[in-house]
Structure formats: C-alpha cells, structure tokens
Amino acid sequence: MVEEAPSRDAAEQGELFRDASIPDELVGYRGPAACQIAGITYRQLDYWARTKLVRPSIRSASGSGTQRLYSFKDILVLKVVKRLLDTGVSLHNIRVAVEHLRNRGVEDLAKLTLFSDGTTVYECTSAEEVVDLLQGGQGVFGIAVSGAMREISGTIHEFPAERADGQQVEPPVEDELARRRRDRRTG
C-alpha cells in the first residue's frame, strides 16, 4: 500500500503549533480516536468528512480499506464544530466559521474565541470586541478555542497515532505534573 502525501490543505497550513505537548503536523489520528478526543460520533465524523465540513488534512480515505488521518488542528476544529452544534448554531453558519478557522494563522488560533447567539458566529480577539457584541442586547455563547486546544493536548497522547511519512511517532516526554495527573486519573 502506498502512503498518500499530506493533502494540499495541510501543506498550506504550515507548522501550526510549536508547543512540545502538541503533535507535529505529520502525526495523525484515525477516525475512532478522533471521535473520542473531539467528543463526537463516528457517523458525524464521516458525514462531515464526506461533505467537506472538516476534512482530514493528513490523509483522506481513498477507497475501501484506507483510513483517514486527522491532525491535531483537525481534531481541534471537530471539537469547535461540536460545541457550536451544542449551542444551536446551524450547519450552514458552522461551515462559514470553519472556513474562517482554516484561514487563521498559528498564533491567532490559540487566542481566538468564538461567540454565538445561536444564529450567527462571532469572532472575539479582545475584551473590547466582547463589549461591542453585547451592546446589541443579544445573549451569546463563548467557545474559547484555546480552552479546547488545552483539553485536546492533555488527552491526545493517550491515543494511538501514526505518521504520514511512515516514521515512528516519538512518545511525548512526560513531566512530573503530567505523570501526577495520569496517576490521579488511573487511580
């Protein structure tokens, strides 16, 4: 079986995150792991991939027996989509928000907060913008992408990963705090 090179979207995104706790852009997670990490069903994942709402940037499925590989950023976007759905935002508006996220740079993604009144999705990058949004009297829901990023980076290493280039995935270096958290979770 020939490994497919990362998609054009992955190449355009470049190096997304420089934090050592976050996997590099060639480390991918198969569908079942991506679902567990993002808190969605496999049916949702499959539908969103087929309708190109959230496409796997490392490797897409190319026929029977091939597995999609989702990057850290893909899983982050899946989690944001799930949270937007939970607040009642329509799939059409989510598609607009996801397209906006795809166009974001490295530093911006960690600082980005999305707000929604259940109809429209707003971007907030400073406290002043939050005030401006609330002057209209509409209640809004906030999704801090950086919070979702921390959640994912804290658990993503517990799932099997593979590299698109076929090399071995290096296990993360566990620091004292991470070891204590793991020990506390496992009892």
27-104+146-172: CATH number: 1.10.1660.10
Strand 162-163, strand 27-28: pairing: antiparallel
Give 61-77 pLDDT, tens digit per residue.
777 767 889 988 889 88
The DSSP element (H or E) to which 90 belongs, if any, is: none
Residue 133, pLDDT > 70, answer: no
Give the residue with greater pLDDT, 13 vs 116.
Answer: 116
Query: What are the domain boundaries of the chain?
Result: 27-104+146-172
Q: Where are the beta strands (DSSP E) in 14-149?
A: 27-28, 113-116, 121-124, 141-144
pTM: 0.63
**What pLDDT is attached to residue 36?**
95
Contacts of residue 53, Cβ cutoff 8 Å, sequence gap at least 6: 47, 81, 91, 94, 95, 98
